[in-house]
Amino acid sequence: MHRAVAALSVAVALALCAGLAHAQTTDTEREAAAAILRQIDSLETRLKPTETAQRLVARTDPARDRLLARVATVWTGEMQGLSDWIGHHPEVGWHEFQAFDTLTAVLKAYGFTVDTGVAGLPTAFTATWTSPAGVSGPTLGLIAEYDALRGTQGDFHGDQHNAQSPVALAAARALMEYMVQARVPGRVIVYGTPAEEVDPPAKYIMWKAGVFKGADILVRSHSTMETRRDRPGFGVCCLNIDAVKYTFTGRPAHQLASWNGRNALEAAVQFYSAVDHLRSTWRPEHRVQGVIPEGGVAPNVVPDRAVVDYFIRFPDEVYLEHISRMMDDAARGAAAMTGTDVQVTRYGEYRDGVTVAMLEELFWAYAQKFGAPGLKEEKGRPAGYEETGPVSREIPGVGITVRSSAFPNHTYGMRDDNFADIGHTGFLFDAKIEAAILYDFLTTPSFRAAVVEEHRTLAGLQDRYLAELRRVYAPEIGADTALSRGSHADLSVPKVVRPSRVP
């Protein structure tokens, strides 16, 4: 299509669905998305998520009222204390052994069958409960995180992950009791997903291992300063990311005969500098930042090993692949000119996920009904409900984010609010809304069908959107962009030794 014609059709499309357009960041993305955004808009017009949510929330339902009262009892009686306890015992990603032990013990006591070490991750688990009425109903999934942040004064729960599992457990327990009493078939699965704050991304590894297969819906809660739902479409919280390590290997030598060596640090510096020289050839929306965590240990020995570690970010994954390829070429160039070898390791990958309006609007309607604090009328951009992307592409779900702190994420203020009224009441809202959404999904087949239809349609449109992106980028980055890099990142988990315990 001619550029001017394309621009005109883009303008028309944007006028038709201005709200959805914010999901795309660059002009190229908007051009690629124009027709697809129109389809998303007509899908939402037909499904009417806001009206559906308001109708579900407004109906009289004594069983749901009892369920929500039970969530509050379980939260206040047991889970708020557990949230505080995890908050006072912070453990960083891959080292969350106390939280893991405590949570899996509680889940076993609740009647769950617990599998540990899933996907080869020592602090990951799945806890599965099957209704006595059978498995013919839906499988309700709840994501539970428990890792802390790394801080200069020690580990701390400045992102309030301490509350996420207790919130899920309060909702899960009340739902199980309802399913027993009302003889409702189905399963409840709590997914213990460690290390949200460090790479490699645990949920991605668990997804690749098939851990989430069989879940019909996934819910997750997270700390925030404001209660806000997102628009439907494709997106991810913090741009698409490739986390890549470039390891240069040379040959050691004495400083006084350095020509006998092959200097890996020189290669790393050349590469680091080359990346800066590439910036002017990339679209300005890129965010590429790296560090050199290893660059030799002694001035009188030619360094034979150096590591450069980059987070490569771009608003869409197609152009991100282009940047990644150019960086790999630059690393190989630096290795060639210095006579060293380079090994490229992709250890983290984050991609756009899918946001489903049927679930976002239901979250919002319950937040309004329950009187949740910090309601922000303006919708956020689509971001999926988990940070890695592929899980929300495969399974519909929603992130419940009720204001639980007066301070931003990753601060000591947010940590302290864990133990204050604003945190405790915010987490209870999270638990009630998780339970209410899962209840509606479980008991209202027409709602369930609409969620599935919206998710499936959006996921299909996302594939077409990516194909369109490749088409419109082709003149700029070449036609060979179709995943020429091949398969997804090959991620391995750092070796962690479980600390010995005092009996």
The binding site for Zn ion (CB under 5 A) comprises: 159
The residue among 84 and 197 lying less far from Zn ion, judged by its C-beta, is: 197
How many other C-beta atoms can be found within 10 angstroms of the C-beta atom of residue 171? 34
Q: Which of 241, 265, 264 is nearest to 347 (CA)?
A: 241
What angle is formed at CA 179 by the lines to CA 176 and CA 181, rounded to 5 degrees? 110
The residue among 390 and 399 lying less far from Zn ion, judged by its C-beta, is: 399
Residue with smallest beta-carbon separation from Zn ion: 159
The residue among 52 and 401 lying less far from Zn ion, judged by its C-beta, is: 401
Least separation, in Å, of the C-beta of 116 and Zn ion?
Answer: 23
- 43 vs 40: CA distance, rounded Å: 5
The residue among 149 and 469 lying less far from Zn ion, judged by its C-beta, is: 149
What angle is formed at CA 304 by the lines to CA 302 and CA 305, rounded to 5 degrees? 130
Least separation, in Å, of the C-beta of 291 and Zn ion?
Answer: 22
Question: Cis (ω within 30 of 0) for the bond into 185?
Answer: no
Least separation, in Å, of the C-beta of 231 and Zn ion?
Answer: 21
Paired strand residues for 397: 218
The residue among 159 and 440 lying less far from Zn ion, judged by its C-beta, is: 159
Where does 295-444 have alpha helices with state H? 317-338, 357-370, 390-394, 412-417, 421-443
Three-state SS letters, 207-261: HHCCCCCCCCEEEEECCCCCECCECCEEECCCCEEEEEEEEEECECCEHHHHHHC
The residue among 29 and 159 lying less far from Zn ion, judged by its C-beta, is: 159
Least separation, in Å, of the C-beta of 223 and Zn ion?
Answer: 7
Least separation, in Å, of the C-beta of 93 and Zn ion?
Answer: 11
Least separation, in Å, of the C-beta of 226 and Zn ion?
Answer: 15
How many other C-beta atoms can be found within 10 angstroms of the C-beta atom of residue 204? 24
Query: Tokens 């991620």 belong to which residue?
Result: 491
Side-chain half-sphere exposure of 382, counting CA atoms within 13 A: 33
Please, what sign has the CA dihedral across residues 368, 140, 460, 313?
Answer: positive
The residue among 114 and 143 lying less far from Zn ion, judged by its C-beta, is: 143
Tokens encoding 413: 């203020």
Least separation, in Å, of the C-beta of 160 and Zn ion?
Answer: 8
Strands 305-314 and 341-350: unpaired
Least separation, in Å, of the C-beta of 406 and Zn ion?
Answer: 17
What angle is formed at CA 242 by the lines to CA 241 and CA 245, rounded to 5 degrees? 140
Q: Which residues of 43-56 are buried (b: 16+ CB within 10 A; e: fewer)?
A: bbeebebbebbbeb
Least separation, in Å, of the C-beta of 254 and Zn ion?
Answer: 48
The residue among 345 and 409 lying less far from Zn ion, judged by its C-beta, is: 409
CA gyration radius for the chain?
Answer: 24
The residue among 137 and 235 lying less far from Zn ion, judged by its C-beta, is: 235
Paired strand residues for 191: 126, 143
The residue among 324 and 392 lying less far from Zn ion, judged by its C-beta, is: 392
Q: Are 162 and 87 within 8 A, CB to CB?
A: yes
The residue among 148 and 175 lying less far from Zn ion, judged by its C-beta, is: 148
Least separation, in Å, of the C-beta of 48 and Zn ion?
Answer: 32
Please list, in sequence order, all residues whose beta carbon lies within 8 angstroms of the beta carbon of residue 55, skipping any fewer than 6 positions away.
none
The residue among 262 and 313 lying less far from Zn ion, judged by its C-beta, is: 313
Q: Which of 178, 182, 167 is nearest to 70 (CA)?
A: 178
Least separation, in Å, of the C-beta of 222 and Zn ion?
Answer: 6
Least separation, in Å, of the C-beta of 411 and Zn ion?
Answer: 12
Tokens encoding 71: 């969530």
